[in-house]
Amino acid sequence: MRIRVLTGAGISAESGIPTFRGKDGLWKGFRAEDLATPQAFSKNPIKVWEWYCWRRQIIGQAEPNEAHKLLADWERSHDLWIITQNVDGLHQRAGSKNVIELHGNIWRLRCTACGKVWEDEKACSKIPPRCECGAIARPDVVWFGEALPSEAIRKSYELAGDAEIFIVVGTSGVVQPAANLPFVAKSFGARIYVVNPQPTIHTEIADLFLQTSASEGLRRIDELLQSEGPS
Ligand code: NAD
Ligand code: ZN
């Protein structure tokens, strides 16, 4: 079965990582929209880095949950791709290989001058971290108002277009262009399954809306896939 899964912050909520728009999404009274922007970084790189260091600490202590693990299992028996908006790397830690990161990865850094990209788990020992060229480094993530990596978005549209089942898990559906992918999949004939404790814009086009947590919802879909037999 060709299964494509769009994941958002909600799939990592059961790992203890706060979502952006949930009640725990605030940091020192700031909203993500006020910190995850190029303007905020150029105005106060230390403040933005402090926020990322707080998030790195939470993410560093988190473990993949049952939802991440089920998706990694499905990759063994299906043609499965995960398109994630998350920057936490938990899909890969659960064992998934076919992962497209639309919004980058919190463990990577990017130089604001020469563009060098590298991974550094200890970047927070001295903030703001610097590149070997001397310039300040930023988290290699996509901020509000910035373009997504073009190859990642091209591949995501291609995958959405040939999906048989398109599963949307734990995303509020307000960040574009990711939020558009389920509509593309639907228009090309995919069945749409939505897993979220709250209704979203995607529930309108859902063939199946599981109004529950990511782990419970994916467990139910796992049963469905097994009852359909091997693909
Ligand atoms: P969001 O915070 O806007 O929405 C989270 C969604 O998850 C909501 O619809 C909520 O109802 C749902 N949810 C909450 N608990 C859930 C659970 N237990 N199971 C399933 N669903 C649950 O997040 P988003 O839609 O991913 O917003 C996009 C932006 O948030 C992205 O830019 C992403 O990079 C960023 N983000 C990432 C992380 C992470 O990497 N873990 C964390 C916070 C935000
Ligand atoms: Zn540099």
Structural domain includes residue 199: yes
Structural domain includes residue 172: yes
The span from the CA of 207 to the CA of 182, in Å, is 12
Structural domain includes residue 180: yes
Q: List, in order, residues 6 or more apart from 225 with CB less than 8 Å away.
A: 1, 74, 78
Q: Which atom of ligand 1 is nearest to the CA of 9?
A: 26
State percent of the chain over pLDDT 70. 97
Structural domain includes residue 49: no
* Band of residue 31 on the pLDDT scale cut at 50, 70, 90: confident
Ligand 1 pocket, 7 CB below 6 A? no
Residue 90 lies in domain: 1-15+64-103+147-231
> For residue 25, is pLDDT > 80?
no
* Band of residue 122 on the pLDDT scale cut at 50, 70, 90: very high
For the segment 44-99, what is each residue's pLDDT rounded down to a tens digit? 999 999 999 999 999 999 999 999 999 999 999 999 999 999 999 999 999 999 99
Question: Could you list which residues have their CB under 5 Å from ion ligand 2?
Answer: 111, 113-114, 116, 131, 133, 135
Which of 90, 101, 171, 209 has most ligand 1 atoms within 8 Å of CB, for mutation?
171
Question: CA dist 67 to 7, 123, 142, 192, 214, Å?
Answer: 10, 29, 24, 18, 6
Structural domain includes residue 56: no
CATH number for 193: 3.40.50.1220
Structural domain includes residue 115: no
> For residue 229, is pLDDT > 70?
no
**φ/ψ of residue 90, rounded to 5:** -70, -30
**φ/ψ of residue 16, rounded to 5:** 90, 15
Let me know if 103 is a catalytic residue. Answer: yes
Ordered DSSP codes for 41-93:
HHH-HHHHHHHHHHHHHHHHH----HHHHHHHHHHHHSEEEEEE---S-HHHH
Are residues 219 and 66 in contact, defined by beta-carbon separation less than 8 angstroms? yes
Cα dihedral 98→225→181→35 (10° resolution):
-70
Q: How much distance in Å is there from the Cα of 12 to the middle of ligand 1?
A: 8
Of all ligands present, the nearest one to the C-alpha of 134 is 2
Average pLDDT over residues 200-221: 98
Can you give the pTM of this predicted structure? 0.95
Look at residue 230 in the predicted model and tell me its pLDDT: 59
Q: Residue 25 is encoded by which pair of tokens? A: 């999404």
The span from the CA of 101 to the CA of 91, in Å, is 10
Q: Which of 218, 183, 188 lies closest to 10, judged by CA?
A: 218
Tell me which residue has tokens 């970084």.
41
Task: Give how many domains the chain has, as a whole number.
Answer: 1
Look at residue 156 in the predicted model and tell me its pLDDT: 98
For the segment 137-150, what is each residue's pLDDT rounded down to a tens digit? 999 999 999 999 99
Q: How much distance in Å is there from the Cα of 172 to the middle of ligand 1?
A: 6
Indicate the average pLDDT of the chain.
Answer: 95
Average pLDDT over residues 143-171: 97
* Bridge partners, residue 137, by sequence: 111
Look at residue 51 in the predicted model and tell me its pLDDT: 95
> For residue 30, is pLDDT > 90?
no
Name which residue leads in pLDDT, 34 or 5: 5
> For residue 173, is pLDDT > 90?
yes
* Bridge partners, residue 104, by sequence: 141
Is 132 exposed, middle or buried, given 0-12, 13-18 or 19+ CB atoms closer than 10 A? exposed
Structural domain includes residue 34: no
Look at residue 132 in the predicted model and tell me its pLDDT: 97
Structural domain includes residue 21: no
Which of 12, 20, 167 has most ligand 1 atoms within 8 Å of CB, for mutation?
20
